[in-house]
Structures are given as structure tokens and as C-alpha cells.
Structure 1
């Protein structure tokens, strides 16, 4: 029985158009997490409201994610999720962006266990929503999540996801599997491993070392190799031609979706869809990638994309 694959959220990349296209073409993912919804002084961002709107999330099994520093923020965001019809939600305690950390959000709340506990206790006000938590080892110390773990173990959570870096690392440096091991040994909830998983071998290595895992969460690895979850879940590797065919279908769905959603014309659509190549096919020829990214007209872009996918 394979372990479960979840798709991590990445701001600016895994929006509803991306999630829907991936689910329809590749699949193999049990849950797609939205980039976090935050509360600002003026309320919610329209972009985030559109991203979690039920009508735009029909194919992918979506779990909306919130980021908060206080019970008040948590309450308002969780209420929004409930009003949208969601009955699952994820709590972000792992975001390493300094702008959020300064507000004691994401990984920035981990050095303040009393604040974290007050925020997390708010889940009891929403018995109709099943919550999970995604976190890092800490902000500047790998002991911070470990210290919070006894409290987390007592909460009614579906699972935890741990990224074994501290917040100040951002995405640099090595993951700390020894610190993950200490957390894993004492965690009583189902646990997912997240961080630097790019190949089937990576998945097998992590699950072999930590066999009690519920599964793994992939982010950048799936952005680079979007067939990875399907290959792992099915146990069947796609042929080179099958990957090319799926990439063409995936790209066509993305282009169609962005063309229908964006009102700024061809250039806005190009600017948006080019972001997919920040990660996709990292081993492709640099000259072909440069041609894709330098395209200023849609026709030239499509010709360059075809050449890049065909390799």
C-alpha cells in the first residue's frame, strides 16, 4: 500500500487554475492545499477569495490553508472557509517569509508558544471543520516545534506536516532529518514529511527511514516533475511520450484557464503562464528555456513551448 501524496501550496504558482489542470491531467494527489489566506486591515484579498471559491475548485480535492497570529484572525478566516462550504482546513505555522514572520504568523509564531496555543485552541470553536497543521522545526531554533508537540498531540487534528528546516533557512541548506526523527518519535498524530522531495527515490528513501509516516507532501518536486505523484501512487512509470502528451494537455488547460480569467490581454496571460517554467522541466536545454521566457508574442511562445516539451 503506497503512502499518501499531498501537494504543498506555493504562493504565485499553485493557484486554482494550476490545481485543476494538474488534477485533471496528472492526478495521484490526495489533497491539494491552497496558498494561505491571510487577514489584512481591509479584510481579505480578492485574489485569495477567488482562489478558494468553490466554483473554481471542482476537480482537485482542495484543502484551504490559513495563516494567523491570533484567535481573532483565525476565527474570521475559518468562518470564511465554512461559509464557502469547506469542512477541512490547514493551519500554516511554517511559512518562512519575513514579512509574515514579523507578524508572528507562519514559522514566526513558533518562538511564542503561548500565542501559538491561544491561536490553535480556536479550532474547538469549529467542530464542523477538520483541521491539520503544517509547520517547520522552528523559526531560529529546531527545538521550538518539539517543545510545542505535547500540546499539538492533544489537539483534535487530522494530521501534521513537518518541514525539517527552521524559518531563517528559507529553502536553503540541508533539511534536518535527525530533528525530524525526534519529532516523529513523539508525534501521536498521522505525520507527513515535506521538503526536498524531487524523485521517486526520494519518496522511497524517506518512507523507508520513517515507516510510520502517513505520507509525504511535495511542492517544488511536483512543480518540476508533475507526473511524480501519479507514478508513485500507481506504481507505473510513464513513458517519455506519455509525459510529453500529458505536458501538452496540462499546458493547454493552464493557457485556456488564464486566458479566460485575465483581462489584461495577451501580455498579461504570457506573464502569468511563463511562471510555470520557473520550476517545470528543470533539466530541459537552457537555450530552449530562454526562448520560452523571452517570447513576447503568444504565437512565438507556443512554438517555443512545443520545442521545449518535445525536447
Structure 2
């Protein structure tokens, strides 16, 4: 009997917020759950926008797994207490963020070269929050691909719900190739449900990973779903959506996101315009280049909307 295999939506700061998640779930779906962009303590406080983003009333109609990032136990506990207070019983700890400003303070992948810190953090969190299903997202390491292997006995021993591995080094960020041999070494020794993350852009990409690693619990997809919001739905169906149907769904999703941001943002047309331009940064990379360029050059909302209409007609 083939094991259950699921597709989950990886978070991306500045893109996959609650408004985006609601619209994606409404018009596309096809994913088992969404992860929130990581919640963190900054200047002694949990960022208000992070709290707003994971409020249950802003995430109705789909399963949200809130994610946290923290360099130490005190900050991690504060964020987990927030999640518990909002009724969550699962959370994901980010040990994979590759951004240098955070990593140099031992956030995300920057903690991977320090196994004692990881052990103290994870062991204590599992003890103090037994009611939480805690998962961990990580990279191969920061400098060396075997840093994740050094942590594997700990990860296998702790009562973690699952693991997500992106097979790049933190210092690579998103450059270079994924290291499938290093992923394979981790996969062979992993006793937890394991999800693959990294460079999954098509149905064929997902199928190749699943065929090579048949015990995978699933895949976690970020940029691939931002580029093609229908990817999860297409994989479940086993075929691509007709192009006209996909474009219409994107049009409806865009309209929904546009209207929600227009209600939320208080900075006028300019703020709304800047926010909506980011909506297209990954979306439809194969679309008309002139229309994409017109979207990013638009200085008025009417010019922006005209450019969007042109892009969606091609």
C-alpha cells in the first residue's frame, strides 16, 4: 500500500500572508496545509503584523501551521505561548532561513552549526509544550552538508511530528543546485515523516522526487506554487488545468487580493500599487514579458490594472 503523500504550501515572507492564503485556498486549493511566514520577537516584542497574520479569524477555511524562528529558548517560548493562546496545537520551527542578517544571530539555518544550541532549544520546547505537534524545517547545514546528519539522532529521538528538508546550504540561499545525494543520506537515516522542499516547479518535478524517495510523507512547495498557484490542484488531478481556466482563476484570485488590500492598507493608491506589484514577482513567469514589465513600471492604478488585463489575455 502506497503511503499517504501530501503537498503543503511553504511560506515566503512578504508574499504568502493571510490575504494571499485565503485567496489561494478559495480559488485553487490542492494543498493539505499552509505554513505562515515565521513569527519572531523583534526589539523585545512579537511583531504586531505577525500576530495579525496568524489570528484564527484571518485563516478560516483551511489548515494553517504557524511557523516560528528564534535564536534562543526565551524567544521561542514566547512565540509558542502566543500560538497556544490562539488555539493552535501544531507549529513549525524554522531552522532553514538562509538570510545572513538573521543567520548570523543564530536564527534559522544559522543555528545548524551549533548542535548543542539546537538540542537545548528543541528538547526544552518538546518538554514544555507537550500539547503541541512540533515540526522542524531545516537545510543541509550552513557551511557543511553533514550538519543535518549530526542532528539526525536528536531529531529521530524527539517527539517531533515531521521534518522538512531543503537540500541546500544556508550560505547558498537559493543559488546553485539542490544536493539530492545529501538529501538521500538524510532520508535513509530519518525515522520521522519527511517532506522534501526545493525547486519543485512542475508536476513532473514532484513526481520525480516521489519516485526517487517513495517513503516521503510529501513535499513542501513555495516558489513553484507562487509561479503556478494551480500546481497542487494539477498534481492531485494528474493533469494541467486548461490555460483559459487557469487564467480565469488567477484573475479572480487577483481581484480578491486587490480588494482585500484596498480595504486594509491606509497608505493610499501608492501603497496599494507597491503591494500588488509584488503579487506578480513570481506569478506566470512564462507570461508576456511586455505585460510583466508594464505591471512593474505602472505608476497609477489604472495603468496597473490595464497591464494585468493584458497579461491575463495572453
Match of 2:50 in 1: 48
Match of 1:30 in 2: 32
Q: Work out which of the residue numbers 278, 301, 306 in structure 1 matches 2:304.
A: 301
Q: Which residues of structure 2 form unaligned runs of 5+?
A: none
Aligned residues of 1:109 and 1:116 also touching (Cα < 8 A): yes
Q: How big is the shift at 1:258?
A: 0.7
Asked whether 1:284 is paired with 2:291, we answer no
Q: How big is the shift at 1:236?
A: 4.0
Distance 1:248 1:93 in 2: 35
Q: Work out which of the residue numbers 113, 116, 121 in structure 2 matches 1:114.
A: 116
Asked whether 1:190 is paired with 2:189, we answer no
Q: How big is the shift at 1:60?
A: 2.9
- Aligned pairs (5 A) from 1:138-217: 138-217=141-220
Q: Work out which of the residue numbers 95, 98, 101 in structure 1 matches 2:100.
A: 98
Match of 1:250 in 2: 253
Match of 1:234 in 2: 237
Single out whichever of 86-95 and 290-299 deviates more from structure 2: 290-299
- Helix, strand or coil at the partner of 1:146: helix
Distance 1:287 1:261 in 2: 30
Q: Which residues of structure 1 form unaligned runs of 5+?
A: none
Aligned length: 311
Distance 1:302 1:108 in 2: 41
- Helix, strand or coil at the partner of 1:185: helix
Aligned residues of 1:137 and 1:145 also touching (Cα < 8 A): yes
- Helix, strand or coil at the partner of 1:76: helix
- Helix, strand or coil at the partner of 1:278: coil
TM-score (norm 2): 0.97
Distance 2:61 2:268 in 1: 26
Distance 1:192 1:75 in 2: 25
- Deviation string 1:234-287 (CA, Å, 9 cap, x unpaired) is 324311111011011110111011111101111111100110111000011211
Distance 2:258 2:61 in 1: 17
Q: Work out which of the residue numbers 87, 96, 102 in structure 1 matches 2:89.
A: 87
User: Any runs of at least 4 consecutive aligned residues in structure 1 with deviations exceeding 6 A, and if so which?
Assistant: none
Q: Could you say what the CA RMSD is over the residues aligned between the two structures, in angstroms?
A: 1.1
Distance 2:51 2:266 in 1: 18
- Helix, strand or coil at the partner of 1:243: helix
Single out whichever of 196-205 and 228-237 deviates more from structure 2: 228-237
- Helix, strand or coil at the partner of 1:157: coil
Aligned residues of 1:110 and 1:116 also touching (Cα < 8 A): yes
Aligned residues of 1:68 and 1:119 also touching (Cα < 8 A): no
